[in-house]
Structure 1
């Protein structure tokens, strides 16, 4: 372990502390202090004793551990959702990925790891304060020297709906983590290569419905797929095997759809909407397309 690296100290009760190793400095807690010099130069996975007898386990933080404890501007994308995005949006080594809504940089770290040294991640963020926090977090995790960022990462301050078309770039995947991802769908469609995937991360059912219906009305994508993931740990001690008392429940909904080739449209969904699916107060994209509130079918012209 080298000076300038971040490490995680965990005590016997599971309390965690992240710190950057600096020669001559001390880490203080209610268990006493630990000299940084005692950790520098050693292989991770050891225990260190504090001056008052407290014992700490020392490892470099995993990405899943780092993102839930990083400084935040916006809420972070939890590891369970980041893993789903990387897998289900098929983020592959060498991919060109566009991210809208960098937040605190949690998902950006997962995307950069997935695309590898020959890929590219271009992040767009509207708010300058969020962009600055994300830059510091990403640089901290990847250990970038001062003034430099990950070589595969570009961070642009601006609205993707306006800034992405101005670049003229093409990409393989687009991840939308924002309040109104449907506003960026046209820009995403123009930038995605045929077969590319758009993935939206939304928190509420109203956002989910609006985005899915907008994708359907656009016509240039396959039928969108929507889901959420729930994670529950288990307590295992001898014959006492039971579900944990805590779980990570709803954090967000994920939606993916694939880009069709220019001029091509996916087969029309055959399943008839459930009665009342588009009620009289429905104002979403299907209503704008001229469908009846009662049946969801095209209104007479």
Structure 2
């Protein structure tokens, strides 16, 4: 695949030093590794490399969903990719699923959800803060996921018009207050996952699941540890992402 003007390219030096850039003819990126001439990549093939003016080799990669999420513009704390796979597996998310999300934030999780349910499914995402919406829209457009996502300001009446939802995601500080609102929109047996930064929130959520028409409650925290794999001296990395959030899952049953 050939890089052209307007293409998005991940400039990769190593796992800690990489840049996601939209290519323009005269564009140059000034880094501590030297000047990266983005315009010079036009006509090159993804997977090839260029040199900075300090002779540092920079590889040209096509960005994937992980890259878009980690390089997205942020106004709030995002749900990290380490949680994405478990959310998808635990809820049965797939192409064609209809997803309702309350708490768009920077649309990092929205981007991932859309990449799974596309092209036949759709994500309806709402936020209580209108200021977040423009940044979320830009991030969705950058990843080309915007055709599969409908954004809106939180409105219980609009949410009530969405039916037969396969998965609900609630990423707000008081998710239990939204369970009665999202319940009518969900298919019987559909899943809900709530993002809870603290154990107090998780405990309160689990109590409301029990009394609110939800079963199969599951509260988890995921960790990921990188391994520095080098010949003769492979060991775990000295640094890792610690606690980010707890995930509270449940499934709807008829009351």
Q: Same fold (TM over 0.5)?
A: yes
| Within-5 A mapping of 1:110-121 | 110-121=112-123
**Quick one: structure 1 residues 230 and 182, their matched pair in 2 at CA, closer, same or farther if it must change by over 3 Å?**
same
**Structure 2 length-normalised TM:** 0.92
Of the two structures, which has the highest relative contact order with CA contacts closer than 8 Å and spacing of 6 or more? 2
CA distance in 1 between partners of 2:229 and 2:52 (Å):
30
Alignment pair present for 1:153 and 2:155: no
CA distance in 2 between partners of 1:202 and 1:112 (Å):
22
Alignment pair present for 1:184 and 2:153: no
Contact 2:227 2:237 in 1 (8 A): yes
Contact 2:102 2:154 in 1 (8 A): no
Q: For the pair shown, which has the larger CA radius of gyration, 1 or 2?
A: 1
| Within-5 A mapping of 1:121-270 | 121-142=123-144, 150-159=146-155, 161-165=156-160, 167-218=161-212, 220-260=213-253, 262-263=254-255
CA distance in 2 between partners of 1:111 and 1:13 (Å):
24
1:251: how far off? 0.9
Equivalent pairs, count: 253
Contact 1:73 1:129 in 2 (8 A): no
3-state SS, counterpart of residue 93 of structure 1: coil
Alignment pair present for 1:27 and 2:20: no
Which segments of 5 or more consecutive residues in structure 1 lack a partner in the other structure? 143-148, 264-301
CA distance in 1 between partners of 2:216 and 2:168 (Å):
16
CA distance in 1 between partners of 2:54 and 2:188 (Å):
62
**Structure 1 length-normalised TM:** 0.79
CA distance in 1 between partners of 2:15 and 2:169 (Å):
38
Contact 1:120 1:153 in 2 (8 A): yes
**Quick one: structure 1 residues 10 and 184, their matched pair in 2 at CA, closer, same or farther if it must change by over 3 Å?**
same
Which segments of 5 or more consecutive residues in structure 2 lack a partner in the other structure? none
Q: Which runs of 4+ in 1 moved over 4 A?
A: none
3-state SS, counterpart of residue 224 of structure 1: strand
